[in-house]
C-alpha cells in the first residue's frame, strides 16, 4: 500500500536558524518559509535528490507540534510521510486493522496541495506517520 518516502519532518525551535544550517552548513536547496494555517505550522522544504526534509515550526496558538517541541526543546524528528495512491482506500484499510487515524479522519490538503492524513505514533512503533495521496 505505501509507496515512496515523500518527506521526513523535523520540528525546530528556530526556523531561520534551521534553514541556515541546511543551506549554509549542509549545502542544501532550501525554500522560503510557507505558512500552512490549516495545519498550524510554518514549513521550510529542503529539497534533496530523492526526497524532501520538512522543517516545521508552530503557527498559531493551537499548533499540533507545540507539545512535541515543549518535550523536545532543541527540536527532533517529528514524522515520516509515505505516499499512497488512494488515501480513502488507505484510511479504510488502516481503520479495519485497528490503527488510529488522527483528527476527524477526513483528509486535509497538505503543504504540497495533496490530501494527507496522520496515524497515531503509538500504533507505528513510536513514529508519527503521515500519508499523502500522490
Ligand atoms: C503541513 C503538513 C504536510 O506535510 O503537508 C504537515 O506535516 S503538518 C504537521 C503537524 N501536524 C500534525 O502533527 C497532525 C497530527 N498530530 C497530532 O494529531 C498530534 O500531534 C499527536 C500526534 C496526536 C500528538 O498530540 P499531543 O502532542 O497533544 O499528544 P500527547 O502529548 O498527548 O502525546 C501522546 C503520546 O504521543 C507522543 N507523541 C506526540 N507527538 C509525537 C511525535 N511526533 N512522534 C512520536 N511520538 C509523539 C507523546 O510523547 C506521548 O507519548 P507518551 O504518552 O509516551 O509521553
Ligand atoms: Co508533513
* Ligand nearest to the CA of residue 126, numbered in listed order: 1
Catalytic residue selected from 16, 38, 92, 130: 130
Q: What is the pLDDT of residues 51-89, one digit of tens each?
A: 999 999 999 999 999 999 999 999 999 999 999 999 999
As a whole number, mean pLDDT of residues 87-110 equals 97
**pLDDT of res. 38:** 95
**pLDDT of res. 73:** 98
pTM, two decimal places: 0.98
Q: Give 129 Cα–ligand 1 centroid separation in angstroms.
A: 9
Closest ligand 1 atom number to CA of residue 65: 20
**pLDDT of res. 52:** 98
Q: What is the pLDDT of residues 4-53, one digit of tens each?
A: 999 999 999 999 999 999 999 999 999 999 999 999 999 999 999 999 99
As a whole number, mean pLDDT of residues 109-134 equals 97
Band of pLDDT at residue 111, cut at 50, 70 and 90: very high
List of domains in the chain: 5-133 (3.10.180.10)
**pLDDT of res. 103:** 96
C-alpha–C-alpha distance, residues 95 and 38, integer Å: 24
| Catalytic residue flag (residue 83) | no
Band of pLDDT at residue 94, cut at 50, 70 and 90: very high
* SS3 track for 68-109: HHHHCCCCEEEEEEEEECCHHHHHHHHHHCCCCECCCCCCEE
DSSP 32: P
Pairs from 95-102 (Cβ < 8 Å, separation ≥ 24): 98/123, 99/123, 99/124
Amino acid at each position: 500500500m505505501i509507496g515512496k518516502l515523500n518527506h521526513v519532518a523535523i520540528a525546530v525551535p528556530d526556523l531561520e536558524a534551521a534553514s541556515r544550517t541546511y543551506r549554509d552548513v549542509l549545502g542544501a536547496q532550501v525554500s522560503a518559509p510557507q505558512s500552512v494555517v490549516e495545519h498550524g505550522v510554518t514549513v521550510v522544504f529542503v529539497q534533496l535528490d530523492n526526497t524532501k526534509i520538512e522543517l516545521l515550526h508552530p503557527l498559531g496558538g493551537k499548533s499540533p507540534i507545540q507539545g512535541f517541541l515543549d518535550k523536545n526543546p532543541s527540536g527532533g524528528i517529528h514524522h515520516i510521510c509515505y505516499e499512497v495512491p488512494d488515501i480513502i482506500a488507505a484510511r479504510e484499510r488502516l481503520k479495519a486493522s485497528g490503527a488510529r487515524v488522527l483528527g476527524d479522519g477526513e483528509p486535509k490538503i497538505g503543504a504540497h496541495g495533496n490530501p494527507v492524513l496522520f496515524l497515531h505514533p503509538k500504533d507505528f512503533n513510536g513514529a508519527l506517520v503521515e500519508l499523502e495521496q500522490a
